[in-house]
Homo-oligomer: A and B are copies of this chain.
């Protein structure tokens, strides 16, 4: 079944099941085939099947229940805090992005308090600022910096409509593997007052992050301000 993919068998099975869940072939609440069935179906040892299922559990696609089976959850967990949710109504998808500073190459100054490696410093810095709007109301303002390591034509891509992480994964095979973040509550300064159209003293949430990728030594640094008046920062873990 998976002989020619080049991937480990458990990873092929993981990808296959993940795809089937994301495409709706298995829906939330459905049971996956049992471990023994999958084992027989694809000619794999049960522990290989378990390896694939364990990763689906870890990534939030399924939960297991002894005596019952593997139950599809239907949506993956976000990476740290990334998703968001309306406090008043369901987020309809009216998400838009306004580029405040287009991606440009700079030299590094600082990285929101995180330390950068000499490699990253030498490569130079891709810098951009974005304002994110939900239903045409500004909710996020973020500053992103990443080292310009083997990212040909990065500054040519549109960041308006695509997620940075989607772009990195599909165009450069860069995946987020983890990271660290710091959170603060603070009063809006003049710039944020203007972006968010709020009064002085308005409480704003700030999120600094250093994100690890599958490229050793390559990190993404970002600072995000969030107006939580109407929308809460939301995450699963």
Contact = CB atoms under 8 A, between A and B. Distances in A.
A167 B87 CA distance: 33
A178 B237 contact: yes
Copy total for this chain: 2
Contacts of A235: 80, 180-181, 183
Given A203-B187, A205-B205, A237-B237, A232 B182 contact: yes
Interface string A165-192: 0000000000000111111111100000
A80 B181 CA distance: 10
Contact of A234 (B77, B181, B203, B205): B181
Contacts of A237: 79-81, 178-181, 237
Nearest to A184: B228
Given A204-B203, A205-B205, A236 B180 contact: yes
B182 A236 contact: no
Interface of A: 47, 58, 60, 65, 77, 79-81, 85, 178-187, 201, 203-205, 216, 226, 228, 232-237
